C-alpha cells in the first residue's frame, strides 16, 4: 500500500495549475480550448534579459551561487527597493529564491508554528492557504465582496486579530481580484498592525509593475511596521519571466537569515543563469515592462466591455494584475439539460465542457461566488472566449 505522509495526503492541489492542466489535456485530445486559467503573461521575456542569460552560459557562470543569491543580484534588488519603493534593505536583508512561491513558503515555514493563526483576506491567491496548511498553521479569512472592491478595512483587520495571530498575508495588486490598495488604505492597516508588533506582515508585491492607475505602494514604507514586514517580489509577472524561477524578499535581518538557513537545506540558491538574467532585468531598460503593462490595460478594458454584454455577471474595474474576478452567483441554481449548477465549481466545469473556455472557480481563492478570468491572452482569444461565455451562459435556464 502506498503510504503518504498526512502532510501531503491532506494538502490541496493547486486549483490554478489543475485547471490549466485540464485545459491542456482537453486540447491534446483535439478540443479547441481557450485557457484563461493560468496567471502567466503571454509575452516572451524581453531580449536584453535573455541576452544576459546567454552571456552567463558563454562565460561559464554555471556554478552554485551563494544560497541567498549573488551579491550582484542582491545589490540590484537593494537599488530597486530604494528606487521604486523608497525602501532600505541591505543585501543581507535580501534572500533570492526559486520563484516568489518559494520566498513565501520560506517565510511561512520560518515564522508560523502549528496552531498559530495567519490572517488571509479573501479572495487570496490559492497557494497561501496550502502554505499555511503545510506549516500546520490555521488560516483565518477576512471575507470581502466585489462591492468593497475586495479590499479589507482596518476595522475588519482589527476584529480578526486574536492572541494566536502570528501573520497577515496579502497581495497588492491582488491575485485574483486585481485590486490595489492605495497609500491611505495601507496606512490604515499599518496603524492597526503597529499596535501588534508580534504579528508579521507578508506583503506580496509580485504584480507591482502591472498597475494601471498609479504608483505602486509598499506597506513596509510605514516606519512603525517596517520591522514587522516581509516584502515579497519576483520577476515572473512584471518581466514575463515565469519559467526562470526567481523571486525574493526584503525582510528584517533575522528573518532573512532564517530563510537563508531553510533554503540552504532545501533547494540552495536558484539557477545561476536565471540570476544573471534577473540582474539584467532590474538594471536594464524598463520600457518592455511598461509596454506589457499597457497591453494588459487595454485588454482589461476590452474584456470588461465584452463581459458587460453578458447579463448576470457583476464585474468591477480592477486597477492591477491581469485578472477579472466577476461575481457569478446570479447563475447558481440554474440548470443545463436538467443538471443544476450549484456553485462556481460547477459553473466553471460547465463552461469548460460547453464553451471550451478554462477559468478558475473562485472557491479556490476563498470567494465561492466568483470566477477568475486571466486576460493574459491574445486579443483574438479574449474576443472569442467572451463570445463563447456569452452563448454558453445564455443556455442556462
Q: How far apart are CA 98 and CA 88, in angstroms?
A: 23
Q: Which stretch binds ligand GLU (CB under 6 A): 34-42, 135-143, 178-186, 254-262?
A: 34-42
Residue 233 interacting with ligand GLU (CB under 6 A): no
- Which residue sits closest to ligand GLU, CB atoms considered? 39
Q: Which stretch binds ligand PMP (CB under 6 A): 22-30, 44-52, 97-105, 377-385?
A: 97-105
3-state secondary structure of 38: coil
Residue 14 interacting with ligand GLU (CB under 6 A): yes
Interface map 198-237 toward ligand PMP (x if CB under 6 A) = ------x-x---------------------------x-x-
Residue 122 interacting with ligand PMP (CB under 6 A): no
- Footprint on residues 170-199 left by ligand PMP (CB under 6 A): 171, 175
Q: How far apart are CA 108 and CA 167, in angstroms?
A: 9
Q: Which stretch binds ligand PMP (CB under 6 A): 81-89, 95-103, 186-194, 380-388?
A: 95-103
145 binds, among ligand PMP, ligand GLU, none (CB under 5 to 8 A by kind): none
Beta strand residue intervals within the chain, DSSP E? 34-35, 94-97, 117-122, 138-143, 165-171, 200-204, 229-234, 247-250, 323-324, 335-336, 339-340, 357-358, 360-361, 371-374
Cα angle 358-151-190, degrees, rounded to a multiple of 5: 135
Grid cell digits, residue 65: 551561487
14 binds, among ligand PMP, ligand GLU, none (CB under 5 to 8 A by kind): ligand GLU
206 binds, among ligand GLU, ligand PMP, none (CB under 5 to 8 A by kind): ligand PMP
b/e code 176-208 from CB counts within 10 Å (16+ = b): bbbbbbeeebbbbbbebbeebeebbbbbbbbbb
Residue 21 interacting with ligand GLU (CB under 6 A): no
For residues 89 and 124, which CB has a smaller minimum distance to ligand GLU in the complex?
124
38 binds, among ligand GLU, ligand PMP, none (CB under 5 to 8 A by kind): ligand GLU
Written in H, E and C, the secondary structure of 56-105 is HHHCCCCCCCCCCCCHHHHHHHHHHHHHHHCCCCCHHHEEEECCHHHHHH
221 binds, among ligand PMP, ligand GLU, none (CB under 5 to 8 A by kind): none
Under rule CB under 6 A, how many of the chain's residues touch ligand GLU? 9
Q: How far is the CB of 275 from ligand GLU (least distance, A)?
A: 20
Residue 16 interacting with ligand GLU (CB under 6 A): yes
Q: Up-side HSE of residue 196: CA atoms within 13 Å toward CB?
A: 19
Q: How far apart are CA 262 and CA 271, in angstroms?
A: 17
Q: Which of 23, 39, 69, 320 binds ligand GLU (CB under 6 A)?
A: 39
Residue 240 interacting with ligand PMP (CB under 6 A): no
Chain centroid to Cα 109, Å, comes to: 18
Listed residue (85, 371, 100) closest to 233, CA to CA: 100
Q: How far apart are CA 51 and CA 322, in angstroms?
A: 27
Residue 107 interacting with ligand PMP (CB under 6 A): no
Q: Are 352 and 23 in contact (CB under 8 A)?
A: yes
Listed residue (100, 94, 324, 84) closest to 216, CA to CA: 84
Residue 366 interacting with ligand PMP (CB under 6 A): no
Interface map 157-196 toward ligand GLU (x if CB under 6 A) = ------------------x---------------------
- Rule CB under 6 A: which residues touch ligand PMP? 39, 99-101, 125, 171, 175, 204, 206, 234, 236, 242, 247
* Residues found near ligand GLU in the complex (CB under 6 A): 14, 16-17, 38-40, 126-127, 175
Amino acid at each position: 500500500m502506498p503510504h503518504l505522509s498526512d502532510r501531503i495526503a491532506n494538502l490541496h492541489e493547486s486549483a490554478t495549475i489543475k485547471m490549466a492542466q485540464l485545459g491542456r489535456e482537453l486540447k491534446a485530445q483535439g478540443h479547441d480550448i481557450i485557457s484563461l486559467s493560468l496567471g502567466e503573461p503571454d509575452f516572451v521575456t524581453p531580449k536584453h534579459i535573455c541576452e544576459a542569460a546567454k552571456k552567463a552560459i558563454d562565460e561559464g557562470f554555471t556554478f552554485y551561487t551563494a544560497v541567498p543569491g549573488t551579491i550582484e543580484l542582491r545589490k540590484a534588488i537593494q537599488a530597486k527597493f530604494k528606487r521604486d519603493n523608497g525602501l532600505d534593505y541591505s543585501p543581507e536583508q535580501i534572500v533570492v529564491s526559486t520563484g516568489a512561491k518559494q520566498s513565501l513558503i520560506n517565510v511561512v515555514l520560518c515564522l508560523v508554528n502549528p496552531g498559530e493563526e495567519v490572517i488571509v483576506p479573501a479572495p487570496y491567491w490559492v497557494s497561501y492557504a496550502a502554505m499555511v496548511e503545510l506549516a500546520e498553521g490555521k488560516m483565518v479569512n477576512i471575507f470581502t465582496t466585489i462591492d468593497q472592491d475586495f479590499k479589507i478595512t482596518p476595522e475588519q483587520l482589527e476584529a480578526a486579530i486574536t492572541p494566536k495571530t502570528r501573520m497577515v498575508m496579502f497581495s497588492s495588486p491582488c491575485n485574483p481580484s486585481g485590486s490595489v490598495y492605495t497609500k491611505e488604505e495601507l496606512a490604515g492597516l499599518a496603524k492597526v498592525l503597529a499596535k501588534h508588533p508580534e504579528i508579521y506582515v507578508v506583503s506580496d508585491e509580485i504584480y507591482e509593475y502591472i498597475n494601471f492607475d498609479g504608483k505602486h505602494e509598499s506597506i513596509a514604507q510605514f516606519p512603525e511596521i517596517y520591522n514587522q514586514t516581509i516584502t515579497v517580489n519576483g520577476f515572473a509577472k512584471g518581466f514575463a519571466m515565469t519559467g526562470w524561477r526567481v523571486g525574493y524578499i526584503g525582510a528584517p535581518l533575522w528573518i532573512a537569515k532564517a530563510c537563508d538557513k531553510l533554503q540552504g537545506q532545501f533547494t540552495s540558491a536558484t539557477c545561476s543563469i536565471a540570476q544573471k538574467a534577473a540582474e539584467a532585468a532590474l538594471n536594464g531598460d524598463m520600457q518592455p515592462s511598461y509596454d506589457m503593462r499597457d497591453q494588459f490595460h487595454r485588454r482589461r478594458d476590452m474584456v470588461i466591455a465584452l463581459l458587460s454584454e453578458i447579463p448576470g455577471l457583476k464585474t468591477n474595474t480592477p486597477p492591477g494584475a491581469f485578472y477579472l474576478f466577476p461575481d457569478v452567483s446570479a447563475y447558481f441554481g440554474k440548470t443545463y439539460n436538467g443538471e443544476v449548477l450549484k456553485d462556481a465549481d460547477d459553473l466553471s466545469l460547465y463552461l469548460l465542457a460547453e464553451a471550451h473556455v478554462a477559468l478558475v472557480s473562485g472557491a479556490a481563492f476563498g470567494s465561492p461566488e466568483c470566477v477568475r478570468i486571466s486576460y493574459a491572452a491574445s486579443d483574438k482569444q479574449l474576443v472569442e472566449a467572451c463570445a463563447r461565455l456569452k452563448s454558453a451562459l445564455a443556455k442556462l435556464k
